[in-house]
Structure 1
Amino acid sequence: MNADSKVEMNAEVLLGVIGTYIDSPVDHKQESRLLFAKGKGSFLYDYNGKDYIDLVNGKGSIVLGHNDQAVTSAIHTFLEQNGEIVTGPSLPIIELAKRIKTDLALPDSKVSFFTTGTAACRAAVCAARAATGKKIIVSAGYHGWDPMWRSSGEWLTANDEGVVEFYFVPQLLDEVLTKYKGQVALVIFSPDYTYLSAATITKLIEICRMHQVLICCDDVKQGYRHRQGASLELVTDQKADLYIFSKGLSNGQRLSCIVGPDGIMEQTKEYTYTAYYQMLPIVSSLATLEQMELKSGYEKLNVYSQSLIGILRELIGQSLLPIEVNGGPLFQFVFGDEKLEQDFYRESVEQGILLFEGDNQSISLSMDEHVQQIIAGRFANVIDRLTDKHSHLQHVKVSAEQTFQAAWNMIDGASDILPYAEQLKILTKITGE
């Protein structure tokens, strides 16, 4: 059997056993499912040897690049020392917890570890409910696949799990907290810095403080990806009560954590599982944080992203096609035409660029000037093909409503790029509530 037939068989088997959309956000159409054999730095390689520049990067969790040598070496050394003891704790878990507390400047806090952001978010909810004796959870943004976050189908009304959405809109947050006065255990939101202003994020926290409710910053998507520690400090000096971080800590290894005061964190003491003391993600986290510090990683990520975004905007600008690039280390393509968008993602895969379709793209520290030039060349080919095919769209503009819809796909909520009345109008259309 030759290599190609093996790949075809693997793809056939994959489609028969893996749930739709679960295995990869990349080119998930069944007729062209990709299988990856290995990864290094900015590149993934399929079983036929073709390389792809990865702008998905594990949905933003690969901050150093794939299979970073320092992280790999730390794991190898730990295993060679027979350090993997799942039965009980080892020193690295204490070291990592102390490091996180120091980064957050919260010396009196405690840290509880989990394997996924979804699990940590549910644990934070359970702990807040146990600590306050209240049930209602007020939410904005994405907190994992857990069914507890599903909409009730009724405007500003809690679902069967006691969760009610406010969509990042300050006025709606105030309305919900007034409606459920005395019943709210926690307000949890995942901050965004592409479509939400510093003023909006600060206002959300101020409203929570006015209503005297606990705040959880679900920083899975942003924390330890934009900066060392909590991302909120990018825009405000206000602090949350609880913080959730995940695989940005560990360069993609399975890890998450909750950080908060002892009175709440003691409620998590029974939230245990068989992999609680698995050390490989902990070791990976310590090595990742060390590398990011040694290489001024967070500063470089911002520099690299602005450079790459500048290159992309120039290419798109020359084409006159209705495509925009919004954001920073996490950025998003926004389109003025649905068929153009579909062809953009299809052509990108053909040119060896992996993108998170409709969502945020992410860069890693491996994407230096040399890699950016490769990206520029491949995107130039994409844009050339699109310009030939969609020349009738030249000079068409991306509308504010199209940007709002794209932002919804990225942040699972409303952006503040439109006035309040227009936000409500589009929100009603999107949610059907």
Structure 2
Amino acid sequence: MTALTNQETIQRARRCTAAEDYDIGTRFPSVFVSAQGSWMEDVEGRRILDVTAASGALLLGNRHPRVVESITRCIAEHGTVFASTLSLPRIELAERLCERYPAGEKAVFSKTGSEATTAAIRLARAASGRDVILTSGYHGWHDWHLSYLRIGYDAGNRIGCFGYSRHALARMLDAFGDDVAAVIVTPEPAWFDEEYYRGLSRLCASKGVLFIIDEVITAFRWGVRGLNGTGNVPADLITMSKGLGNGHSISSVVGRRDVIDAYDTAGVAGTYTREVPPMAAALAVLDEIDGTQAHANAERLGGVLRDGMRDVLAAVGIPAVVAGPPMMFDVVMPSEQISWDVYRAAFDHGAYFEDSGTHMVTTAFTDADVDHALAAFEKGAREVAERHTFEADALSPERLAQFRAEAFGGELDDEVVRQRIEQTVQAVVERDPALARRLDPSCG
């Protein structure tokens, strides 16, 4: 068979599997056939540096020797999945995570971040006997979470969004805190510091409401142990996934024993939650980042990349804000179109950046990789800057507010938002109790 070009392969995918926006419109035009470390090769043989860490799924890079050896040995010597839900790797991994994170007393496992967050709210409802969940940030694609970008109340799913507004959360907990099973929030370290999340944790504790940190991304990228792992932000549950298995599908809910012990009542189940090789991969990941300087070196290189991208944008005259920890930082430019154009141009020069503006490195990155990423980024940024005239040297507060709102649902505290908060409170207080659903026991 004659080898197809990237565009021909994309057309082939379009006919049989690809979603027009998710798979094609929001991606750069390559179909990849292999990857090693942080480098990918497409169907035309072009090598491109991945500056997304496969959307955060990779922590150590593709085909890390320690992970490859652990998984192949697991499959060859032990198998892949058993009739029992329990295995020695599951038990060891649960013990390791509970030792690693202050919230940890017990841990349970699933396959994806969306499953982990959904399981967490099921556990919270089952353990508390309460119904309402308050949330900020993205927690996955499941039905209960489709309205996350705007303060409001989803009556069908009993989900209230507080838009990262501490005032909104305090107002809601004052009005109907006795009905709230949990507050779940995704950390956005480029925008809110530890003290902000510590304040949310204290507020929940004062009202007797479970506090859940969705660390699907941050568990290994806000430092080596995530936000809860700093020891400064108590939580009743945390969720994690990306990076845990270094690209192998696994997620976990870690937290209080009495909440995790509501597992049966919550009806959480799934045959492939017992798959063993991803657990072997996760154990190898923990061995690597806890036993070597790999994570510290990645943080150093991530910091060089972050600061270098800030310098490039300043040098070419594109107003921007670059902020966040070195292994997951945000770059905000004057518009989504400008951002897309810069990253699309950088792709033509051999670097695949995340078009949303959140960039992540792996421990496979080297100094040469950072140099390559910055060279591609500078070429792309210069090409775009030459076609535009920018009216100001700095981004406006309105642009930053727009980014916050569209990226993760962060709301400002203005009169419109305050009115929406009161409307949300009224909607929850006046909700129909008959919409609450009974949790059925697990059947799997």
Does the alignment reach a TM-score above 0.5? yes
Change (3 A) 1:179 1:249: same
Which sections of structure 1, spanning at least 5 residues, go unmatched?
none
- What do residues 267-302 of structure 1 show as CA deviations (whole Å, max 9, x unaligned)? 213422111211111011011111112322332232
1:384 correspondence with 2:377: no
Matches within 5 A, 1:49-64: 49-64=45-60
| Offset, 1:8 | 4.5
Matches within 5 A, 1:365-404: 365-390=363-388, 392-393=389-390, 396-404=393-401
| Offset, 1:189 | 0.8
Give the corresponding residue for 2:254: 259
Give the corresponding residue for 1:306: 303
2:415, 2:293 → 1: CA distance? 41
Give the corresponding residue for 2:171: 175
Give the corresponding residue for 1:226: 222
| Offset, 1:425 | 8.1
Give the corresponding residue for 2:324: 327
Q: Any conservation in 1 of the 2:343–2:377 contact (CA below 8 Å)?
A: no
| Offset, 1:401 | 1.8
Which sections of structure 2, spanning at least 5 residues, go unmatched?
428-444
Change (3 A) 1:367 1:174: same
Give the corresponding residue for 1:421: 414
Q: Any conservation in 2 of the 1:100–1:229 contact (CA below 8 Å)?
A: no
- What do residues 35-60 of structure 1 show as CA deviations (whole Å, max 9, x unaligned)? 11111111111110111111111221
Aligned length: 418
Q: Any conservation in 2 of the 1:336–1:396 contact (CA below 8 Å)?
A: no
2:160 aligned to which of 155, 158, 164? 164
Q: Any conservation in 2 of the 1:324–1:333 contact (CA below 8 Å)?
A: yes
| Offset, 1:198 | 2.5
Give the corresponding residue for 1:297: 294
Give the corresponding residue for 1:350: 348
1:96 correspondence with 2:81: no
Give the corresponding residue for 1:245: 240
Q: Any conservation in 2 of the 1:322–1:337 contact (CA below 8 Å)?
A: no
1:273 correspondence with 2:270: yes
Q: What SS does the corresponding residue of 1:182 show, helix, strand or coil?
A: helix
Quote the RMSD (CA, aligned, Å). 2.6
1:148 aligned to which of 144, 147, 150? 144
2:361 aligned to which of 360, 363, 382? 363
| Offset, 1:214 | 0.8
2:206 aligned to which of 207, 210, 214? 210
2:254, 2:416 → 1: CA distance? 33
Give the corresponding residue for 2:112: 116
1:186 correspondence with 2:176: no
Q: What SS does the corresponding residue of 1:317 show, helix, strand or coil?
A: helix
| Offset, 1:143 | 0.7
Q: What SS does the corresponding residue of 2:314 show, helix, strand or coil?
A: helix
Give the corresponding residue for 1:134: 130
Give the corresponding residue for 1:340: 338
Q: Percent identity of the aligned residues?
A: 23
1:153, 1:400 → 2: CA distance? 19
Give the corresponding residue for 2:439: none
Q: Any conservation in 1 of the 2:112–2:250 contact (CA below 8 Å)?
A: yes
Q: What SS does the corresponding residue of 1:200 show, helix, strand or coil?
A: helix
| Offset, 1:86 | 3.0
Give the corresponding residue for 2:436: none
